[in-house]
Amino acid sequence: MGHSCFYIVLDGRKILIDPWLKNPMAPPNLPSLEDVDLIVVTHAHDDHLGDTIEILRSAENAKVVAIYEVAERLGVEGGIERSRLIGGNIGGPIHTDVGKLKVVLTPAVHSSPYGSPTGALLLGEEARIYHAGDTGLTLDMQLIGDLYAPDIALLPIGGHFTMDPRQAAYAVRLLRPRVAIPMHYGTFPVLYGKPEDFAEEVKKQNVNTKVVILKPGEKYEF
């Protein structure tokens, strides 16, 4: 849905990650979000925290998973009921009570106005999906690959604030996902990384990973 925002249907549950819906790349026709089950926020920069409070107010049954300080701030600033806030930390899987979905918050090499920046791993019965958040390249990704073997990796490639295409391709080598989808590029001129360059760099890594390039509004079925 543009930038780092993804709308995911996993195990029949509707999930939003980093829901900045007003980003410059957002498609004109957004799906209805009133029946969203779960929102995952990787960190508190505006282009990731985005429209979380607004969505939580309209999707009255949705829960949100985020690092503890971000979840607490959503409760204070948004008046969101504590029962809907799942504040966790980097470590073992977080039980969401949204079906059988679990979320693992992972290290991200970045910054955040409050709380630690994270990535997020969605553990479902249909698939395991890793959203790296905003991050530089880190060897922690090898541990994520070893422990959880993600099927799909959503990786920032824009450079300047995050990995560039070459570094993100090396992340693919560490993670070894079946599918890699680039994100966090093209939203602003400073994000210079191009998805075609990422796909070419992944080829050089000699890994068995399919690169899927999505334009905002397009979907991929795994």
Strands of 97-143 (E only): list them. Answer: 102-107, 118-123, 128-131
**126 in a structural domain:** yes
**216 in a structural domain:** no
Rounded Cα distance between 209 and 176, Å, is 7
Rounded Cα distance between 102 and 117, Å, is 19
**21 in a structural domain:** yes
Sign of the C-alpha dihedral computed for residues 105, 110, 112 and 116 taken in this order: positive
**222 in a structural domain:** no
Q: Are 119 and 108 in contact (CB under 8 A)?
A: yes
Residue 114, Ramachandran bin (φ over 0: left; ψ between -120 and 50: alpha; else beta) = beta
**What pLDDT does residue 31 have?**
86
**219 in a structural domain:** no
Rounded Cα distance between 219 and 1, Å, is 9
Tally the domains of the chain.
1
Domain range holding 131?
6-211
**1 in a structural domain:** no
**What pLDDT does residue 71 have?**
97
Q: Is 194 helix (H, G, I), strand (E, B) or coil?
A: coil
Q: For residue 135, give the amino acid letter.
A: T
List the CATH number of the domain containing 43. 3.60.15.10
**What pLDDT does residue 213 have?**
98
Rounded Cα distance between 116 and 207, Å, is 31
**What pLDDT does residue 119 have?**
98
**16-51, pLDDT tens digit by residue?**
999 999 999 999 988 889 999 999 999 999 999 999
Q: Is 119 helix (H, G, I), strand (E, B) or coil?
A: strand
Closest CA to 156 of 60, 42, 63: 42
Per-residue pLDDT of the chain (222 residues; tens, 9 = 90+): 999 999 999 999 999 999 999 999 999 988 889 999 999 999 999 999 999 999 999 999 999 999 999 999 999 999 999 999 999 999 999 999 999 999 999 999 999 999 999 999 999 999 999 999 999 999 999 999 999 999 999 999 999 999 999 999 999 999 999 999 999 999 999 999 999 999 999 999 999 999 999 999 999 999
